Chain A
Amino acid sequence: MTITGNEIIHQYLRHNKKFPHVLCAGCGHGIVLGTLIRSVHQLGLPKDDVVIVAGIGCSGRLAVYVDFNTIHTTHGRALTFATGVKMANPKLKVICIMGDGDALSIGGNHMIHAARRNIGVTALVLNNNIYGMTGGQSSPATPMGSVSMTAPFGQLEKNFDTVALASGAGANYVARGTVFHVRKLEKLMVKAIERPGFNMLEIITPCHTQFGRKNKYKTPVDMYKWIKSNAVDIERFNEIDEGKRGEKFPIGTFVERDLSGLEERYYKLKAEMRKARGEK
């Protein structure tokens, strides 16, 4: 009998961990975890060939629940650990799960340099607009004007455009998905995992507990409705006049380059030098 849907997910979870998971009701991180498991299952990767590296924050908890090789690293440094793993053993599929604070502020430098080096790592940036676990402080992804614990009268700073940042830094593949459009997210994630080089996938996920409640979203469902009405396919987004865009944001694939990863170049150079010296 073939199994489908959530029964696949149950096979990849660590059942000695406490379930249901720690994330709040309606948190999109669970959907991301499910999509990640389905993508890995779809690609047919063995559990031992997948490495999940996660930083600190709500997104860091995801690494705890899945039965792959997992590392729970220090805040913002998930990409540096992932770089080391990939350089040491390029056969592994290294997937880095980071939150917006993790990837853009504390690990901001690692993010741009990993993209510049084009190391063969898949970076999933779970953008929930806030530092959720530490109590709702403003993160670099908090939109201007929205209320947070450290900005009770509205955030004065502009938020980061993660997609523009990663594509400007030279990432091989840059895409954005949301947790409402799960089938599209799954397609993007499969691509982000199987392609060579640095692949960055930004995922818009709602944080109702810390962000939504302070910003006129009464229930978690209201946040999903906001995503449903404001996420627009990139082709359709480009057709909308700039003045009429409002809160709408594009989803889909933004950049697709075919440059070889750092680890490929390194092992090629190593082989060439060994050959020149007469070693095998």
Chain B
Amino acid sequence: MAKNSKGQSKITVYPDWCKGCGVCVEFCPKKVLELDVHGKSSVVREDDCIHCGFCELHCPDFAIVVTDKKPGDSNNS
């Protein structure tokens, strides 16, 4: 599952389910996620993601999904 090449994964955060605990933001090895003005997790540097899966496994609210990037996906979604 883990791929070490950057820019090949797409991260989706469901803001309705996120409670803003900050676990994903703190422990992301590439600092891909940050808390936004509403205190929810948001994707800021998606191209740096190495698909380690940490945020997905450690999200207590199942609010983050990391998938492989498909050709049609935009860069900053």
A residues at B contact (CB < 8 Å): 4-7, 9-10, 13, 19-21, 23-31, 34, 179-180, 182-183, 219-221, 224-225
Contacts and interface: CB of A to CB of B under 8 A. Distances in A.
A219 B22 contact: yes
B50 to A, nearest CB: 15
A74 to B, nearest CB: 26
Interface of B: 1, 16-23, 26-27, 53, 56-67
Contacts of B21: 25-26, 220-221
Nearest to A19: B17
B23 A30 contact: no
Given A4-B1, A25-B19, A26-B21, A20 B63 contact: yes
Contacts of B61: 20-21, 30
The CB with the most chain B CB atoms within 10 A, among A6, A13, A31, is that of A6
A24 B21 CA distance: 9
B56 A20 contact: no
A221 B26 contact: yes
A29 B59 CA distance: 10
B51 to A, nearest CB: 10
A232 B17 CA distance: 32
A30 B60 contact: yes
A10 to B, nearest CB: 7
Nearest to B60: A30
21 contacts: A4-B1, A4-B67, A6-B59, A6-B63, A6-B64, A9-B62, A20-B16, A20-B17, A25-B20, A26-B21, A26-B23, A28-B60, A31-B58, A34-B57, A34-B59, A34-B62, A221-B22, A221-B23, A221-B26, A221-B27, A224-B58
Nearest to B22: A221
B19 A5 contact: no
A184 to B, nearest CB: 11
Nearest to A28: B60
Contacts of B16: 20
Contacts of A30: 59-62
A220 B64 contact: no
Contacts of B57: 5, 31, 34, 182-183
A6 B23 contact: no
Nearest to A219: B22
B59 A23 contact: no
A31 B61 CA distance: 8
The CB with the most chain A CB atoms within 10 A, among B61, B63, B65, B66, is that of B61
